[in-house]
Structure 1
Amino acid sequence: MLAPVDPPTNKKGISIVSEDVCQQTVGRPEAFTAVENVFAAMARGDAYNFPVVREAIGHADALYGFKSGFDRAGMSLGVKSGGYWPGNAAKGLTNHQSTIILFDPDTGQIKSIVGGNYLTAVRTAASSAVSIAHLARKDAKVLGMIGAGHQSTFQLRAAVEQRDFEKVLAWNPHPKNLVRLATVCAELGLPFEAVEREQLCAEADVIITITSAFEPLLRHEWIKPGTHIACMGTDTKGKQEVDPALLVAATLFTDEIAQSISIGEAQHAVASGALKAGDITSLGDVINGDHCGRSSAEEITLFDGTGVGLQDLAVASVAVQLADERKLSSKISL
């Protein structure tokens, strides 16, 4: 009689990387490189996202869902589970809550469990920063910020590293929250001014929108020639931050075209028939040199940052690698 054989186990153990360790290991440079690389891989066809699941759960006004994908170039396979709880701020918590799980592409075994809150913020900021690096005019001097929530400070810090900005203008539906951005600007030694949206659009060379709006906050006629706009808040059906006419007038780029036309900023212009999927270019094509990006100083460029699961997997993979190397991760076995 043969002796029973124990099933194979993950002898290396599963890496647990906490929120604190993510902040210790993944900074803006690491996030920028990870996001830029994954955008390039997506455009080459080496990485792809799976369909997004995102639903209202009928409790606490929360949205909950899953973003997943596989990056063959970076060998990242996994899923981010989480969502948006609008009441969390009153509880001393961030409104966005998420966890990232990575799997071994060769075996399907679970490899890592990674805190996703900080990484979501830093990868979203990296996404707009990559768009600024590749699409904004080199002589951009004024940065405009629309929105002053938790994510806005990550956006601001990442953006100012891409150009020699001399001033920051900002607007928020609740002006008292602008103190967040003013504080960061004071730390960076950048002049800061709270202004109305029309003035912001008239002066800014680069504009980042990072809100949860369901109506246009920026009008086409307000935007001056040569502006680069990174729309980072629209990631759900029904959300909207800018006038659809602005998307039609601009040269339009995105992280993933399928998401841009379904849950991103382009959804409204596409639904009206004013825009087609073929009018949108993947930012990865610019990174790979397959598209010129900005073609003139007068051109308005717009990046529709919908937030793809591959971004999360890319930064989570970096967090795990660095945490393991520095012996900062915990190990468990199932």
Structure 2
Amino acid sequence: MKIVILKEEDIRKVFTIKDAIQADKDGLELYSKGESDIPLRINIDIPKEEGQSLYMPGYAAGAKALGVKIVSVYPNNVEKGLDSLSSTMVLINESTGEVCSIMDGSYLTKIRTGAVSGAATDILARKDSEIFALLGTGGQAESQLEAVLTVRDIKEVRVFDANKERSQEFASRMADKFADVFGVKIIVADSSSEAVANADIITSVTTAKKPVFDGKLIKKGAHINGVGSYTPEMQEIDDYILLNADKVYVDTRDGVLNESGDFIVPMRQNKCTEDIVTGELGEVIMGEVPSRESDQEITFFKTVGSSVLDIVTARRIYEKAMQKGVGQTIEF
């Protein structure tokens, strides 16, 4: 059995954010069509190490995508000089059941998570969008930025983080990387209010347990991506946006309604029900649910992630690597 090992540098050589956006669109369409098998992720506690071991399996026949992403969350690793979070993607040949590739799951997660916001922005945001507000400058922020710059002709990016120094460092680094490529100005906002005022597109990617900006400041016609809230206690998007957006979309109903505090908190307070969801993004792609219907509508997209994004993206990466002869092949 031959297994192809793909590190981050290998993936970067063959796979672009544009490729990832298309992979995410295809994955979500397969999910919404009911043409994928995505079990609930398995979470095993490791009390001795105060850690968790998570397993996210999935199969999408239409994409020939079968595999499992393994994620380890070990907070105490910091004391050992190791990363507190590590991830590995194991891709399986659907025809033989043999492992065909092992790849960097952390980079895979970054690119597919940025790409799903890019896919939603491409489908839902106004075509003439020029101002982009990015809230949060952690590990997911770069791919979120690149994805939006890829699908819209953005003129100005406003970056805000609760840590001003981190905002400045991130903005400077992103300006060096993207300013000339995309012809965009990247600036640091002094507050979240300053960042979102008059912005056409807003992406929030934080771990906040309280809303990070005032939804009443959002202008008509804006599109918002909520990325950070993936547990019932996390709520970075305020109720006002959820209750007043003209259309509300999710990557998967099952994931968002059971995992994200952006929805769970207001639902527990009886401010809304599951019916507030207009549809899954895959349903929009299929043509079963309407997309934006006017330049005045406010659209909101929420993602918590799904293994269908991992397996379809991983399969596309593997195919590109095979075409270009990238990666290390081992006999097992």
TM-score, length-scaled by structure 1: 0.88
Q: Which amino acid aligns with 1:183?
A: R
Aligned pair partner of 1:257 in 247, 253, 257: 253
Query: Residue 135 of structure 1: CA displacement?
Result: 0.4
Identify the residue that residue 73 of structure 1 maps to in structure 2: 62
1:4-49 superposed Cα distances (whole Å, 9 cap, x missing partner): xxxxxx4xx2222223212222111211111111111112111242
* Cα root mean square deviation, aligned: 2.4
Task: Give the conservation status (yes or no) of the 8 Å contact 1:68–1:309.
Answer: yes
Query: How far apart in 2 are the matches of 1:206 and 1:94?
Result: 32
Cα distance change of structure 1 residues 274 and 203 upon mapping to structure 2, 3 Å threshold: same
After TM superposition, the structure 1 stretch with the greater mean CA deviation from structure 2, 33-42 or 62-71, is 62-71
3-state SS of paired residue (1:29): helix
Identify the residue that residue 276 of structure 1 maps to in structure 2: 273
3-state SS of paired residue (1:150): coil
TM-score, length-scaled by structure 2: 0.89
Q: Give ranges in structure 1 of 5+ residues lacking alignment.
A: 1-9
Query: How far apart in 2 are the matches of 1:270 and 1:167?
Result: 35
Aligned pair partner of 2:162 in 173, 185, 209: 173
Identify the residue that residue 5 of structure 1 maps to in structure 2: none
1:104-136 superposed Cα distances (whole Å, 9 cap, x missing partner): 334433222111111111111110000100001
Identify the residue that residue 324 of structure 1 maps to in structure 2: 322
Query: How far apart in 1 are the matches of 2:171 and 2:84?
Result: 18
Cα distance change of structure 1 residues 89 and 126 upon mapping to structure 2, 3 Å threshold: farther
Task: Give the conservation status (yes or no) of the 8 Å contact 2:216–2:240.
Answer: no
Query: Residue 51 of structure 1: CA displacement?
Result: 0.5
Query: Residue 333 of structure 1: CA displacement?
Result: 4.2
Relative to its length, the structure with more helix (as a share) is 2
Query: How far apart in 2 are the matches of 1:174 and 1:305?
Result: 24
1:112-169 superposed Cα distances (whole Å, 9 cap, x missing partner): 2111111111111110000100001111111000001122111111111211111111
Query: How far apart in 2 are the matches of 1:275 and 1:109?
Result: 46
After TM superposition, the structure 1 stretch with the greater mean CA deviation from structure 2, 24-33 or 88-97, is 88-97
Query: How far apart in 1 are the matches of 2:73 and 2:299?
Result: 29
Q: Which amino acid aligns with 2:225?
A: A
- Paired residues, what number? 323
Q: Give ranges in structure 2 of 5+ residues lacking alignment.
A: none
Aligned pair partner of 1:244 in 239, 248, 264: 239
Q: Which amino acid aligns with 1:262?
A: N
Query: How far apart in 1 are the matches of 2:77 and 2:166?
Result: 16
3-state SS of paired residue (2:150): coil
Identify the residue that residue 13 of structure 2 maps to in structure 1: 24
Query: How far apart in 2 are the matches of 1:91 and 1:176?
Result: 26
Q: Which amino acid aligns with 1:75?
A: K
Query: How far apart in 2 are the matches of 1:213 and 1:110?
Result: 38
1:55-95 superposed Cα distances (whole Å, 9 cap, x missing partner): 66457775542222111210211111114556778988766
1:256-304 superposed Cα distances (whole Å, 9 cap, x missing partner): 1101011123222333333333332100111122222112222211110
Query: Residue 54 of structure 1: CA displacement?
Result: 4.2
Cα distance change of structure 1 residues 60 and 301 upon mapping to structure 2, 3 Å threshold: farther
Query: How far apart in 2 are the matches of 1:304 and 1:293?
Result: 15
Task: Give the conservation status (yes or no) of the 8 Å contact 1:237–1:263.
Answer: yes
1:200-233 superposed Cα distances (whole Å, 9 cap, x missing partner): 2222110011111122112322222211111111
Identify the residue that residue 173 of structure 2 maps to in structure 1: 183
Query: Residue 98 of structure 1: CA displacement?
Result: 0.7
Query: How far apart in 1 are the matches of 2:315 and 2:71?
Result: 18
Higher radius of gyration, 1 or 2: 1
3-state SS of paired residue (1:180): helix
3-state SS of paired residue (1:212): coil
Query: How far apart in 1 are the matches of 2:82 and 2:156?
Result: 31
Query: How far apart in 1 are the matches of 2:271 and 2:69?
Result: 33
1:236-271 superposed Cα distances (whole Å, 9 cap, x missing partner): 332221113321222211111101011123222333
Query: How far apart in 1 are the matches of 2:76 and 2:220?
Result: 39
Q: Which amino acid aligns with 1:125?
A: G
